[in-house]
Structure formats: structure tokens, C-alpha cells
Structure 1
């Protein structure tokens, strides 16, 4: 069961890639979005909910398995956060690139409320929530820019 939790927590292995696992995890989120973006809104939300529950359990288990708090290899949170950032975005390369960059911005710099969640909530839930907040901030910014551009 440990291998299953680690497989999920590491974003199907993308978290083991060298240098910047969070960026690789975010890229895995973009690739997953390509397969999910045509779902009806309720189905997309259901997929996010399932990934959130699985991710929370897997991230919490990975902390114990790896004996480390919020291990770098755990990127299921980046995948879910990226899916939130791109929610209802048009399938234009520029929109995807902007959503990716905005999510990475909020995930790395951790402005409020992202940083607060990162510092105050721990375990699998804490690992997931700060990236979900980063994704929500990125989504709001992305859609504001798209609206301003008339897209």
C-alpha cells in the first residue's frame, strides 16, 4: 500500500524528476487538465474533489513513509492546484502558459492566504490546502486578465 500512496503523492512519479519537482508536478497538472477540461463543470469539480481526497491521504502517508514533513517529491498538491488554476480556462496555449505561470508565482511566493495555510496547517491536509489556495488565486487572476482582454 505504501507504493500506491507514494505513486499518487509523487504525481505518478513526476515528483522524483530532478531539480524542480514542484514545477514538474505543475506540468503534470497541465497535462491532466488537457484530458479533463472538456468535462461539464460538475464533473470537473467531482474530479477535483476525488483528487483532493486521494491527494490528502497520499500526501499524509508519504510524510510518514519518507519520514519528512511536506517532502519535495510530493507533488499531488501541485497537480490539484494547477487544475484549480486552469479551471474553466480556454484551451489556448497563451491561457495555459499564463495559468501555469500564475500558479507557480502564487505557489512559490506564497502571499496571503497561501503562506498562512502553509505555516499553520500541517499533514496531508496542509500540504494540499496551500496549493489549492495558490490555484484559486491564480484562477482568479487568470480569469480577470482574460476578461480584460475580452477572451
Structure 2
């Protein structure tokens, strides 16, 4: 048993804080679930910025940009698509743990950190994905971010 499996056996949720096209295309996420007891995935704009800088996204960026989206809209369209794909391997974990684990999340744009109304709208735009309840969003832990969380994720505040 490796260290992450031992932690998982003790009740620790091990989340991956990274995502790339190659992780999705090669089955690496499933490998992490199977071999390292990874039970969720979270990401943020800086993680996607690094992944996009790899060049793996160039074709998708050109194709989407030709249809119209630019800047942050294009960026979040790519990010949400990746997270929706990433949610599929976590669905069995989500079902087995009754939603405690098996989620993927995306932090909303930091540019919205002080605008609760726009943050709520952005959070609702990216959840849930095609796999249902396994997709979620996060906000920075600031007073306004907490208000956003209460408004867009009432289930999280039982």
C-alpha cells in the first residue's frame, strides 16, 4: 500500500490539483484514481493557463476562436469542457461516497472576486456538467466569496 492509499484508508480525501489534455487523453486521471486513491479534482485559472501554454490546446483555441469566443470566455469554455471530461472517471467515487468525494471543481475568475452577482452567474454557468452532480465551482475564501457560495451552492451549507 502506498502513502496516498494509506491516507485514503484513514479517511483523507486526496484531490488532484492539475489537469491537461494529455491527462484526459491518456487515462492518467483513471490511473491516479486506481493507483493513488485520488478522489476528486480541482482546478483554477492559473492551472489552465499553464496547461494552455503547453501548446496542446492550440488547435482547439483556433477552432473555437473562429466561431467567436475570445479572451476569458474562450478560456473558460476550454476549461469547462476539460472538467466535464474529467468528471466521468470520478462518477463511481461520487456515487459510492454519496457526493462526499468524486467531484471536480473550477475556481471562478479572480476578476469576479468582489462581484457576488457576477460570480454567482459564472458559477451557475459551469455547473453541473454532463455527469450531473460531480461538477462544481469554487470562489476565493473572502467574505464576498462566501456569500457567493451560499447563493449558488446551498447544499454545501446544510
The bucket for the TM-score relative to the shorter chain is: 0.3 to 0.5
Report the TM-score, using the length of structure 2 for normalisation: 0.34
Higher helix share: 1
Higher strand share: 2
Greater relative CO (CA pairs within 8 A, separation 6+): 1
Question: Over alpha carbons, which structure has the higher Rg?
Answer: 2
